[in-house]
Amino acid sequence: TLERERSRREGRGLSCKDMKKGFLSGAKDGSSGKDASDSAESSSGPAPTKKRAEAPSSSSTQREAAEPSVNLSKQVPRFSLGPLRKSPVACLVLGMAGSGKTTLMQRIAVHIHNQKLPSYIINLDPAVSSVPYGCNIDIRDTVNYKQVMKEYELGPNGGILTSLNLFATKFDQVMGLIEQKADSLEHIFVDTPGQIEIFTWSASGTIISDMFAYSVPTALIYVVDTPRTTSPVTFMSNMLYACSIMYKFKLPFILVFNKTDVTSADFAIDWMTDYEKFQEAVQDEKAYAGTLSASMGLVLEEFYRNITTVCMSAVTGEGVEDLFDKIARAAEEYANVYRPMLEAKAEEKQKREAKATERRLQKMREQMAKVGGLDNIKAPKDEDEEDEEENEFKANPKGGFAAFEPDSDDLDDGEDDVEFANEAREGHAPLDLMEHLRIRQNAQRGDESDMDALNEILSNVNDGNVRID
């Protein structure tokens, strides 16, 4: 953690061009000699909060292309569903801006440190200035968010999305680090960007969530700002968004009502369990949104019945133990319900790929049968052979060709070729006709480009554009 902070103070980070050359290529020689995974037990708790150094201005010297403090140079294989064994539980923490997600991550870091639970913490927000907890892998060590905005001429949200997409292209290497310590880890907590739609509805979010889901038990933690949901309409908006996220990712879902030290979440639990109470609360809303919220309350009744809720305060720590109990239950739900679904999905995908491969092979067999097998497929000509043929067919001053002798293949193909050759020797055939003959010979040898040219000349003859003496 100290080494990563020192790296950021020195202004090291990867620009977009550096990522194109060698994304996540490994740590510098002067960086920490340990793999970040070696500090999983020691750094799982909160590290002393440090102020993040400002990046050098554009007028200063160019920032060196620095590799991340985590050594990600070792290539690892792609993950697939294997036999279920003891694995850490991955928790993807999502939440609206201002819901207290970062504070919740800090409380989680404090808890795993106090309880001595070896865990991994990953920060995926490239735009955050500082984080109040120690993270094992930080996207800011790899992607320079401001440089991404500058090079691609993007706004703040576009810069975050592009940075996350770049990081996701090599996320299998991050999974490789986790796999090395999987037997000794209890949890993996992933802090996502504050702009929730960037992770939820982007390709990078799907890639990252799928890689976790197909590797280890995975759950979603959706953080709700409780004081802001006291309005029935705002509450319904949050529930609809939570429902859409749950069905989009198809993973165990934990709904966390945060900031209960400011406003108790009892009203929200009552609205979720008793539709009549929600109906009474929404009656004061005279606008169309009130009527819609009342109708959606009935629609989401099944969602409320199967959802897991936690009421807690990230500031005081109240309810954090309940959160970890619900995470353990989510892991069991993953093993019993969601993993069989993922296995069936993976098996179906393999069958589709096998069928597609068989169709391509069958098509290749049919094409080979048409040409009579591999022996009749001629290799493409090299440049020297093409130059020799072109020299053979240079026209003489009379309009014919300087030297042309039809070979046995041409004679076998038809007597019309012989007539064309004889006319060429006597100088009666115009240049267009002899070009026709040359192209026809090459077409017979398998040159597709000359076959197209032959068809074009024949079309011109039929249209009367080419005169034959």
| Predicted confidence (pLDDT) per residue in 212-240, tens digit | 999 999 999 999 999 999 999 999 999 99
| In contact, 225 and 100? CB cutoff 8 Å | yes
CA-CA distances (angstroms) from residue 80 to 76, 84, 411? 12, 11, 60
Q: pLDDT for 22-70, tens place per residue?
A: 433 333 333 333 344 444 444 444 443 333 334 333 333 333 333 333 3
pLDDT at 263 over 80: yes
For residues 150 and 59, the answer to whether their CB atoms sit within 8 Å is: no
* Homologous superfamily assigned to 89-346: P-loop containing nucleotide triphosphate hydrolases (3.40.50.300)
pLDDT at residue number 23: 39
Res 84 pLDDT > 50: no
29-43, 161-175, 244-258: which has the minimum mean pLDDT?
A: 29-43
Pull the structure tokens for residue 303.
């969602």
pLDDT tens per residue, range 117-126: 999 999 999 9
The percent of residues in the chain predicted with pLDDT above 90, rounded, is: 45
- The whole-angstrom separation of Cα 246 and Cα 420 is 75
Predicted confidence (pLDDT) per residue in 268-316, tens digit? 999 999 989 998 898 888 778 888 888 898 889 888 988 899 999 999 9
Reduce the DSSP state of residue 121 to 3 states and report it: strand
Most confidently predicted of 3-12, 136-145, 357-366, 450-459: 136-145
Please report the beta strands in 181-327, taking only residues with DSSP state E, as ranges in sequence order. 187-191, 218-225, 253-258, 308-311
- In angstroms, the CA 369 to CA 355 distance is 21
What pLDDT score does 190 carry? 96
Query: Does residue 403 surpass a pLDDT of 50?
Result: no
Burial 104-141 (b: 16+ CB within 10 A, else e): bbbbbbbbbbeeebbbbbbbbbbbbeebebbbbbbbbb
CA distance 167 to 19: 9
State if pTM tops 0.85. no
Please write down the HEC assignment for all residues of 443-463: HHCCCHHHHHHHHHHHHHHHH
Tell me whether residue 86 is exposed, middle or buried, using C-beta atoms within 10 angstroms of its C-beta: 0 to 12, 13 to 18, 19 or more: exposed
